[in-house]
Structure formats: structure tokens, C-alpha cells
């Protein structure tokens, strides 16, 4: 097994028994994430819901079914990308994650991204958008690619929100169709050397 797969598997083992916040007391299962360990694209949702908590897998409920359709619309399957969440354990009654829960869980997501080293990060919903663009309005910046450090980040609406509102559904469908071109750009950027090439000294 390749190094990244091993590292992610080890990390998932640690996440499964994480005691860092009170969600560990109410969860059925932690939900680390799944997909390709060297994916170019990582999708970051909010947190597990009922079905995810039962199955220990991300996006397996109705929002997940819609996410699968959105992926298929650009010729991708789950196995081609990595899918995870800002928080790894389900908040009771699917309430919003608390700031303390998000910060307790942050090192897990940081480490996942360090291992996978994606070229493109797609945030789904405002909690994962906040990780990169705190205080911004999702309605204003959705669908726009921005460079954050050495990676391209695109904030999108959360598929669950889109399921309940027809206009958001069309918006997220259209935003998804922009992802292949954004990824192609991101790959080009990452192919460029990060530092200027050292000037060759001419031997006199």
C-alpha cells in the first residue's frame, strides 16, 4: 500500500477513537472521510448526519446521493476524489457545529490535507468555506476559485441546502460544471516551480 494510504488509514484509526470534544460521547461512529489518498480534488462538507454517523462514511444520505450525481455530471466518481468534513462526529439532532468543536477537530482535517496534498479544495457550505474565507458571504463568493497558499479553493453551496431550494440546485449544478476547467488551471499552477529557478552562474 502506498505511503499516503497508510498514513490516512492510521489517521482514521485515531479519529475513530478521538475524545477531543463532547461529540465523542454522543456519536455512533466518527466519520473520517473516504476516497483516493492522492486525489487532486478534496471536497469538504460540514459534518456527519444521521446516516453518516450510522455507517461511518461521509455523504451517504440524500445530500450524498445528490453529491454523487454532481460528481457524475463532471465524469467523476467518489473513488476519484476525497470526501470529508470539517467535523468528524455528528452533532446531536444535526445542529450546527460549535466553534469549540470545529477547533477541536481542525488538526484532523489539517493532517488529512497534508497527507493528500490536493490541487483543488472544494468547500461545501459555509462551515468549510469559513476555514478559508472567514466572514465572507457564500452567496457572493460561491463558484469563484481563489489561491490560498499553494492550493486552489472553490466555495460551493452545500448539496443539502440545494436539495431544498430549486434555485440553489441549479446554481450548484452550474458551479460544478466549472470545476474541470478550474482543476486544469490549478494543475498548471502547481506544475510551475514555486521558487524562481536559480540563475545559472556562468563559469568564466
Residues lying near ligand URA in the complex (CB under 6 A) are found at 45-49, 52, 58-59, 61, 63-64, 85, 160
Pair type for strands 82-85 and 34-35: antiparallel
The C-alpha atoms of residue 195 and residue 147 are separated, in whole angstroms, by 16
CB closer to ligand URA, 85 vs 112: 85
Q: State in angstroms the smallest separation of the CB of 192 from ligand URA.
A: 33
Closer to ligand URA by CB, 35 or 64: give it: 64
Q: How far is the CB of 58 from ligand URA (least distance, A)?
A: 4
Cell of 105: 477537530
Per-residue HEC secondary structure of the chain comes to CCHHHHHHHHHHHHHHCCCCCCHHHHCCCCCCCEECCCCCEEEEECCCCHHHHHHCCCCCCHHHHHHHHHHHHCCCCHHHCEEEECCCCCCHHHCCCCHHHHHHHHHHHHHHHHHHCCCEEEEECHHHHHHHCCCCCHHHHCCCCEEECCEEEEEECCHHHHHHCHHHHHHHHHHHHCHHHHHHHHHHHHHCCCCCCCCCCCCC
CB of 67 to ligand URA, least distance (A): 8
State the minimum distance, in angstroms, from the CB of residue 190 to ligand URA. 27
Nearer to ligand URA, 128 or 152 (CB): 128
The number of beta carbons lying within 10 Å of the beta carbon of residue 75 is 8
Residue with smaller CB distance to ligand URA, 150 or 165:
165
Q: How far apart are CA 52 and CA 50, in angstroms?
A: 6
Which lies closer to ligand URA via its Cβ, residue 11 or residue 190?
11
Nearer to ligand URA, 55 or 190 (CB): 55
Least CB distance to ligand URA at residue 94 (A): 9
Tell the smallest beta-carbon distance from residue 198 to ligand URA (Å).
45
Amino acid at each position: 500500500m502506498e505511503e499516503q494510504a497508510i498514513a490516512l488509514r492510521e489517521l482514521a484509526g485515531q479519529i475513530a477513537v478521538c475524545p477531543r470534544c463532547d461529540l465523542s460521547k454522543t456519536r455512533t461512529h466518527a466519520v473520517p472521510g473516504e476516497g483516493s489518498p492522492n486525489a487532486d480534488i478534496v471536497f469538504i462538507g460540514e459534518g456527519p448526519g444521521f446516516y453518516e454517523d450510522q455507517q461511518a462514511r461521509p455523504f451517504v444520505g440524500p445530500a450524498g446521493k445528490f453529491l454523487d450525481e454532481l460528481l457524475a455530471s463532471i465524469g467523476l466518481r467518489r473513488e476519484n476524489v476525497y470526501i470529508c468534513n470539517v467535523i468528524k462526529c455528528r452533532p446531536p439532532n444535526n445542529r450546527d457545529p460549535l466553534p469549540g468543536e470545529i477547533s477541536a477537530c481542525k488538526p484532523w482535517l489539517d493532517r488529512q490535507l497534508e497527507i493528500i496534498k490536493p490541487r483543488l479544495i472544494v468547500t461545501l457550505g459555509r462551515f468549510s468555506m469559513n476555514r478559508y474565507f472567514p466572514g465572507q458571504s457564500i452567496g457572493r463568493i460561491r463558484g469563484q476559485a481563489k489561491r490560498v497558499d499553494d492550493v486552489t479553493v472553490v466555495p460551493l453551496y452545500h448539496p443539502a441546502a440545494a436539495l431544498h431550494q430549486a434555485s440553489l440546485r441549479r446554481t450548484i449544478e452550474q458551479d460544478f460544471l466549472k470545476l474541470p476547467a478550474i482543476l486544469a488551471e490549478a494543475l498548471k499552477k502547481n506544475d510551475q516551480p514555486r521558487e524562481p529557478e536559480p540563475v545559472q552562474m556562468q563559469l568564466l
